[in-house]
């Protein structure tokens, strides 16, 4: 079928002479007519102007009539009312894991710094249990740079920020105690238990007089290389305010002592003895004696720039990491103080070198025998200091930003890794394996920005069946599934298995990255495009992968892989059809449009295998297709060409029509608008065009001052939202249009840039309304939710009072040896019984579990319950009642049980028995086994079961209390008892034997 090009945007309606209205008749006048003047040259020109004006008036009147006719046709689509501005909330945390977390003294919780807030996490579950500041307190006004526990009160937290303030918090109650204002940005803070009421801080050097502290704070668009160019001043600050009774919100410190000037500090700490202050900055390590701060620093030169610092917990020496990956131990704290202040010296050091890139963090274990280091390689290295041997924990998931050791004495020592993708990973010190990982959305802004390019798209989709988001992960070859309703990371899918090595030397390796992802309307199929650029030694790769959603495992399974669907050319678009006969369309820079369909085959056993295969391939002249989209009913396929839109039949692939958009010379994307799909919105640079496919005409055109980024149509209304660039790189403009007019219904500025934006399904009560619900990825690789009615569970919205002390009681020596006693109090195990984190036990794993050395195995009680529960089925109360009724019905009246003397229960509640009584019961048993003499017991004496007084039975009188037999037994009597009956009466339906114990 030939293409129909629409040239005239507004159809021309011819006007006949009868349609032209006549001029009004002149009013009747009694005065004589005016005299006729001669026609001069001036009069002729005036008459010509009047005739011209009359013709223009007739033309304007005709256009007005045509406009009135169009308005009558569009009466049903009148201009709607303006919309309310959209609100947004961020699903990702800013500045996550840029600072090391802090453990509480008992190790039950840890603190993480998130921008201007402090989140308190549970060590066991990783959930946020509280936040600082609370709604009643004033928090920091800028980013928190450092935090430590108070040296004299383990339940107080000290934080420092770029706003120049030091705040002391009571994190148990969640309240602010006091604020010390230094009026200078603070980068580091440290303290020691021997330095009472003092802390050491590293502040930015003050500028000239007249500049405020606000001017010294770093700007939001400040580059990452700016802080190392600054210089810092180390101060000793007293936490006691000058005038504590003034009642002001903040106070000045009562005493501030300057120590010395350094470059931008990478670390600040006090030695284990509390006698030395150490700071690392640039290529130097600065050491000062705490008792003689006026002498200043002694400088020790490093061959490379230092990046991190840690002091030994028991001895006076420290360790640093540098930009070349070298871990260096410094033995310079016991050297004599030089006579001249601020001199440079050399020190005795030892090197540990494995890292290929810069070391991000170093930390000592609690006993100081091991050293931990991590960096860009995503590998935790454990160094044994006395031998120099090392062990590794590889593939932790993302580059390591911080390493912290849990110093809890009640549990096993663990290593907490703060990863670059905002995750926290715990490593067991016994097995050197990841024990648990806590994360929300795994995105690393620095790594993702370095891998992202302007030409590549950012994958983003919504899965309707699971109500989750499909987002790019911390590595570009993977995707992650995130649930906004529960604020949890559901799963991570490795689309293209790749090596996680970041780079060789200084050149970044080109990874395989996922460029596009799209999910079918039913949520059963997902298609991805992953590509890797080629170079001199490697040929490029590009794959189309189609995944099937497994409802049982709730995970995506790879169904079909197509190698080079458009050759080595880039795929420009991909989309599923919404019809029942589902199809997939892809367009590429090879100038082809390809469709794919489902193919079902049967094997010899009759099993049906489903896969995807090529259906058709076609093109339009020599033009390159830029985008493609399906109509809401799936009957039409629209393909965006260079300056036109081609409409194809979805079944026969026949070209139905072509709409030429001369206003948009280079189309970038197209979208069907409305639930009926009568209109198409076209984006291309700064141009926005709305076309009517019924009349095959351009409805209206709008040209913006800045280019458009993306467009998202409303699924039920004839409206759509657009994102366009702004003069500032950090902001974008959002506009909402209706198909009836080019005047926007809403126009607002977003304080972030948008890379990709999709529709997020709103609640059912707002599904058919005019409200918008969107989710997008920003330029800083943050995830934001935009809409008119945003409701999302915020795990850190409130400040709660924490429980003081350990949540789980410490086990006794007896419990460490033999496990928890059988006679235990219910309230004692209330914490452990409420949370069951054990996985189902598999019988095939039974033998391999016990191959582990005994000192590395978990306690026996943690293995016993999962093993027994896997073999035994819990009997419900309803089943027990049915069995009891069926059992009683089958018993005849002749077989009624005789009355018997029922013994009292042998055990009572644990609360009525002390631990000493239980231990005293087992002492004779242990001595009998070891053969130790114990009067009045003998070697042939057997222990008798302990029976304690209990409440009397309802049918019998209360028996006399019994005690443990302590007399020497008669050999003859004992032999008779052994021959006649057991020592403990059996609970049967018969009467008690006369040979049993009285």
The tokens describing 942, both together, are 């057997």
Query: What does the alpha-carbon distance between residue 433 and residue 340 come to, in Å, rounded to a whole number?
Result: 50
The helix (H) or strand (E) run that includes residue 849 is helix 846-849
pLDDT at 205: 74
pLDDT at 285: 94
* 3-class DSSP assignment, residue 748: strand
* Bridge partner residues of 548 (DSSP): 525, 557
If one counts every other C-beta atom within 10 angstroms of the C-beta of residue 784, the result is 19
pLDDT at 83: 82
| Greatest CA separation for the chain | 165
What is the chain's alpha carbon radius of gyration, rounded to the nearest angstrom? 40
Residue with tokens 């308190």: 120
User: What are the boundaries of each domain within the chain?
Assistant: 651-794
Closest Cα partner for 167 from 191, 196, 132?
Answer: 132
Residue 830 dihedral angles phi and psi, to the nearest 5°: -65, -35
Kindly compute the dihedral angle of the four CA atoms of residues 37, 41, 42, 46, in this order, to the nearest 10 degrees: 90
Q: Distance of alpha carbon 968 from its chain centroid, rounded?
A: 71
Give the torsion sign (CA, 844, 847, 851, 857): positive
Contact 276, 291 (CB under 8 A): no
Contact 168, 236 (CB under 8 A): no
Q: Distance of alpha carbon 474 from its chain centroid, rounded?
A: 10
pLDDT at 487: 84
- Residues in the chain where the model's pLDDT stays below 70: 1-80, 94-97, 206-229, 335-343, 408-410, 446-456, 501-502, 504-506, 729, 762-768, 791-800, 803-852, 855-858, 860-862, 870-915, 932-998
pLDDT at 314: 92
Cβ contacts of residue 81 below 8 Å, gap of 6+? 745
Please write the tens of the pLDDT for every residue from 623-636: 999 999 999 999 99
Query: What does the alpha-carbon distance between residue 851 and residue 702 come to, in Å, rounded to a whole number?
Result: 73
pLDDT at 295: 87
Closest Cα partner for 818 from 859, 864, 865, 868?
Answer: 859
Q: Is 881 exposed, middle or buried (0-12, 13-18, 19+ CB in 10 A)?
A: exposed
The tokens describing 384, both together, are 């044994």
The helix (H) or strand (E) run that includes residue 864 is helix 860-871
User: Any idea what DSSP says for residue 496?
Assistant: S
The tokens describing 594, both together, are 């390809």
Cβ contacts of residue 981 below 8 Å, gap of 6+? 993, 995, 996
Pairing of strands 697-703, 687-692: antiparallel
Residue 827 dihedral angles phi and psi, to the nearest 5°: -70, -20
Residue with tokens 């029976």: 947
- Distance (Å) of CA 948 to CA 838, 909, 914, 954, 963: 36, 10, 12, 18, 8
Mean pLDDT of the chain: 77
- pTM (predicted TM-score): 0.70
Query: What does the alpha-carbon distance between residue 678 and residue 650 come to, in Å, rounded to a whole number?
Result: 16
User: What spatial distance separates the first Cα and last Cα of the chain, rounded to whole Å?
Assistant: 109
Q: Is 652 exposed, middle or buried (0-12, 13-18, 19+ CB in 10 A)?
A: exposed
* Bridge partner residues of 320 (DSSP): 309, 328
Q: Which CATH number fits domain 651-794: 3.40.720.10, 1.10.620.20, 2.40.180.10, 2.130.10.10?
A: 2.130.10.10
Cβ contacts of residue 568 below 8 Å, gap of 6+? 534, 539, 540, 542
Query: What does the alpha-carbon distance between residue 281 and residue 306 come to, in Å, rounded to a whole number?
Result: 6
Contact 285, 330 (CB under 8 A): yes
pLDDT at 985: 42
The tokens describing 169, both together, are 């918090």
User: Any idea what DSSP says for residue 247?
Assistant: -
């Amino acid at each position: 079928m030939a293409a129909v090009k629409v040239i005239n945007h507004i159809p021309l309606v011819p006007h006949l002479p009868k349609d032209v209205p006549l001029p009004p008749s002149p009013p009747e006048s009694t005065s004589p007519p005016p005299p006729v003047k001669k026609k001069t040259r001036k009069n002729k020109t005036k008459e010509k102007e009047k005739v011209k004006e009359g013709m223009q008036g007739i033309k304007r009147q005709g256009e007005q009539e045509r406009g009135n006719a169009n308005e009558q046709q569009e009466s049903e689509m009148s201009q709607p009312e303006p919309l309310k501005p959209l609100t947004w909330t961020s699903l990702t945390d800013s500045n996550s894991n840029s600072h090391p977390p802090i453990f509480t003294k008992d190790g039950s919780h840890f603190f993480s710094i998130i921008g201007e807030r402090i989140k308190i996490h549970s060590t066991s579950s990783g959930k946020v249990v509280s936040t600082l500041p609370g709604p009643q307190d004033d928090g920091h006004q800028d980013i928190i740079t450092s935090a430590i526990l108070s040296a004299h009160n383990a339940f107080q937290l000290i934080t420092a920020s770029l706003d120049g303030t030091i705040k002391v918090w009571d994190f148990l109650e969640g309240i602010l105690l006091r604020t010390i204002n230094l009026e200078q940005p603070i980068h580091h803070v440290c303290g020691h238990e021997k330095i009472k009421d003092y802390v050491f801080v590293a502040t930015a050097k003050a500028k000239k007089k007249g500049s405020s502290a606000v001017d010294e704070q770093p700007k939001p668009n400040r580059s990452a290389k700016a802080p190392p160019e600054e210089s810092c001043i180390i101060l000793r600050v007293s936490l006691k305010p000058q005038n504590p009774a003034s009642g002001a919100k903040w106070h000045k410190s009562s005493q501030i002592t300057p120590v010395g000037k350094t470059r931008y500090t990478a670390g600040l700490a006090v030695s284990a003895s509390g006698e030395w202050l150490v700071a690392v900055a640039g290529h130097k390590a600065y050491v000062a004696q705490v008792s003689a701060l006026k002498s200043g620093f002694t400088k020790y030169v490093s061959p490379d720039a230092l990046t991190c610092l840690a002091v030994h917990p028991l001895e006076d020496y420290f360790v640093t990491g540098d930009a070349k990956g070298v871990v260096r131990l410094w033995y310079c704290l016991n050297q004599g103080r030089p006579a001249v202040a601020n001199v440079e010296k050399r020190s005795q050091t030892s090197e540990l070198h494995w890292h290929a890139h810069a070391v991000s963090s170093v930390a000592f274990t609690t006993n100081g025998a091991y050293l931990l280091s991590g960096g860009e390689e995503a590998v935790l290295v454990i160094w044994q200091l006395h031998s120099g041997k090392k062990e590794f924990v590889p593939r932790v998931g993302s580059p390591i930003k911080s390493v912290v050791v849990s110093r809890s004495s009640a549990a096993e020592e663990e290593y907490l890794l703060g990863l670059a993708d905002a995750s926290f990973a715990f490593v067991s010190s016994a097995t050197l394996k990841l024990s648990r990982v806590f994360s929300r959305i795994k995105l690393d802004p620095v790594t993702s920005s370095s891998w992202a390019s302007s030409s590549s798209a950012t994958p983003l989709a919504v899965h309707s069946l699971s109500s989750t988001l499909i987002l790019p992960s911390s590595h570009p070859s993977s995707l992650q599934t995130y649930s906004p309703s529960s604020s949890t990371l559901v799963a991570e899918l490795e689309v293209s298995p790749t090596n996680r090595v970041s780079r060789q030397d200084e050149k970044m390796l080109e990874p395989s990255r996922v460029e596009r992802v799209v999910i079918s309307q039913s949520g059963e199929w997902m298609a991805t495009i992953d590509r890797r650029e080629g170079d001199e030694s490697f040929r490029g790769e590009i794959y189309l992968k189609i995944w099937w959603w497994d409802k049982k495992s709730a995970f995506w399974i790879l169904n079909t892989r197509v190698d080079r669907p458009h050759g080595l050319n880039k795929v420009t678009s991909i989309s599923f059809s919404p019809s029942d006969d589902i199809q997939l369309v892809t367009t590429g820079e090879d100038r082809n449009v390809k469709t794919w369909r489902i193919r079902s085959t049967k094997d010899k056993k009759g099993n049906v295998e489903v896969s995807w295969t090529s259906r058709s391939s076609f093109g339009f002249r020599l033009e390159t297709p830029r985008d493609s989209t399906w109509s809401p009913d799936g009957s039409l396929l629209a393909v965006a060409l260079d300056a036109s839109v081609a409409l194809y039949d979805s079944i026969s692939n026949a070209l139905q029509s072509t709409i030429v958009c001369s206003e948009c010379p280079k189309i970038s994307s197209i979208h069907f608008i409305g639930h009926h799909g009568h209109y198409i919105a076209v984006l291309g640079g700064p141009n926005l065009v709305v076309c009517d496919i019924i009349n095959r005409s351009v409805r209206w055109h709008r040209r913006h001052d800045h280019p458009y980024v993306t467009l998202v149509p409303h699924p039920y209304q004839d409206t759509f939202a657009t994102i366009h660039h702004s003069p500032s790189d950090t902001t974008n403009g959002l506009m909402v249009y209706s198909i009836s007019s080019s005047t926007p219904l809403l126009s607002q500025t977003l304080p972030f840039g948008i890379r990709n934006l999709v529709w997020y399904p709103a609640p059912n009560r707002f599904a058919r309304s005019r409200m918008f619900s969107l989710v997008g990825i920003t330029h800083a690789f943050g995830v934001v939710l935009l809409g008119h009615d945003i409701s999302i569970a915020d795990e850190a919205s409130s400040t709660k009072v924490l429980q003081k002390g350990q949540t789980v009681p410490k086990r006794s020596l007896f419990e460490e040896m033999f496990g928890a006693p059988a006679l235990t109090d219910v309230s004692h195990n209330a914490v452990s019984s409420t949370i069951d984190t054990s996985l189902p036990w598999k019988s095939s794993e039974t033998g391999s579990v016990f191959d582990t050395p005994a000192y590395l195995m978990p306690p026996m009680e943690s293995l016993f319950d999962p093993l027994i529960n896997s073999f035994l089925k819990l009997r419900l109360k309803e089943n027990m009642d049915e069995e009891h009724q069926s059992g009683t019905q089958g018993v005849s009246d002749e077989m009624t049980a005789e009355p018997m003397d029922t013994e009292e229960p042998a055990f009572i509640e644990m609360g009525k028995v002390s631990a000493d009584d239980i231990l005293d019961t087992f002492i004779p048993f242990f001595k009998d086994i070891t053969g130790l003499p114990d009067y009045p017991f003998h070697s042939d004496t057997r222990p008798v079961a302990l029976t304690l007084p209990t409440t009397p039975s309802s049918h019998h009188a209360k028996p006399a209390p019994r005690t443990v037999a302590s007399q020497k037994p008669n050999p003859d009597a004992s032999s008779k008892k052994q021959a006649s009956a057991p020592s403990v009466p059996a609970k049967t339906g018969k009467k008690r034997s006369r040979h049993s114990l009285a």
